[in-house]
Amino acid sequence: MPQLVPAAALVVFWSSGFMGARLGTEYAPADTLLAWRYLAAAAVLAVAWATGIRPSRAAWRRQGVLGLLCQVGYLGGTVTGIGLGVAAGTAALIAAAQPLVVAALAGPVLGEVVDRRQWWALGGGLLGVGLVVGGDLGADPVPWWTYLLPLAGMLALSVGTVLGRRWQSAEGVLESLTLQTLVAAVAFVAAAAGRSTLSPPDASGFWWSVGWVICLSSFGGYGAYLLVLQRQRRHHGQYLAVPHAAHHHGVGLPHVRRPRHRARPARPRRLRGRGGGGASRSGPRAGQEPMLTPVRQRSTQS
């Protein structure tokens, strides 16, 4: 039973990252959301230094590489893709192919053997991912290349997972989470500052989203992920996070294809009048002022 608790936490908390990304990118670009998420998370985890954590240089190197792959690479691609219009449920399905990639790399890199039953299970999961993503490519107005962003993030997470298992680092969950979060915070803040998107929006919903992804995703999801990797050799339970995320994506929250911060205000339609009268094309009634009719924006919801 104790071993099932981290796996169950991984299923629930890992799904929260996709929903939090979709909520947060309604108010700000992905790099703004990630920068403030990791700034706040790093500030909280900095308290760990007071508990006596003193990492060595080797620990900094290992966890720095893993942080760049598993957090900067994975979240940078996934959250940016969601911010550009990729459905949160689709991003979750793409991420669910990660165990298959890890299993494929485990043989040549780690010398592990994956039996036929596991290959069948993982192959079925990959087939389901391909069917859903292929359907989205034909039905959604999102450019096809945006789907490459969560795919690249999934591959970065897979490589980081294999490296972490190969190195078998002695750092605990708290130390690994702290070091990786600090490295990711520097990377995301630098990226947002370079694009002049570091300033947060004046919206309470943005800070609600930041709190969501810090507590549920950074501490809950990734913390459970590190704990599961320490206790188990493989983590196929991540597939269970897909229907959980897809349920909330399709039922619990409204589906938004384009972030609000990218929407442009409507411009008034030009009025056509005769003889300088300034009347609209349909013509106002006598004694009424001409009304400016805004152009109806094209719907971005699916």
Please name the residue that has the structure tokens 């793409």.
Answer: 94
156 lies in the same domain as 301: no
Cβ burial, residue 60 (10 Å; 0-12/13-18/19+) = middle
41 lies in the same domain as 164: yes
165 lies in the same domain as 67: yes
113 lies in the same domain as 87: yes
123 vs 188, higher pLDDT: 188
252 lies in the same domain as 286: no
At a CB cut-off of 8 Å and minimum separation 6, what does 41 contact?
181, 185, 214, 218, 219
pLDDT tens for each residue of 47-88 = 877 777 788 899 999 999 999 999 999 999 999 999 998 888
At a CB cut-off of 8 Å and minimum separation 6, what does 174 contact?
45, 48, 51, 53
pLDDT, position 275: 46
244 lies in the same domain as 278: no
- Give the Cβ contact number of residue 75 at 10 Å: 26
pLDDT tens for each residue of 232-244 = 644 444 444 444 4
Mean pLDDT for all residues in the chain: 76
150 vs 55, higher pLDDT: 150
257 lies in the same domain as 291: no
pLDDT tens for each residue of 182-226 = 999 999 999 999 999 999 999 999 999 999 999 999 999 999 888
Range of the domain at 254: 4-262
| 296: confidence class by pLDDT, cuts 50, 70, 90 | very low
Q: Kindly tell me if the per-residue pLDDT of 177 is higher than 90.
A: yes
pLDDT, position 14: 84
pLDDT, position 3: 64
228 lies in the same domain as 277: no
Q: The pTM is what?
A: 0.72
pLDDT, position 170: 81
275 lies in the same domain as 164: no
Q: What whole-number percentage of the chain has pLDDT above 90?
A: 36
254 lies in the same domain as 273: no
Q: Kindly tell me if the per-residue pLDDT of 297 is higher than 60.
A: no
154 lies in the same domain as 189: yes
CB 87 within 8 A of CB 143: no
Least confident of 14-28, 70-84, 135-149, 215-229: 135-149
How many domains does one find in the chain? 2
pLDDT, position 237: 43
Q: What whole-number percentage of the chain has pLDDT above 70?
A: 68
285 lies in the same domain as 216: no
Q: Kindly tell me if the per-residue pLDDT of 288 is higher than 90.
A: no
d(CA 10, CA 188): 24
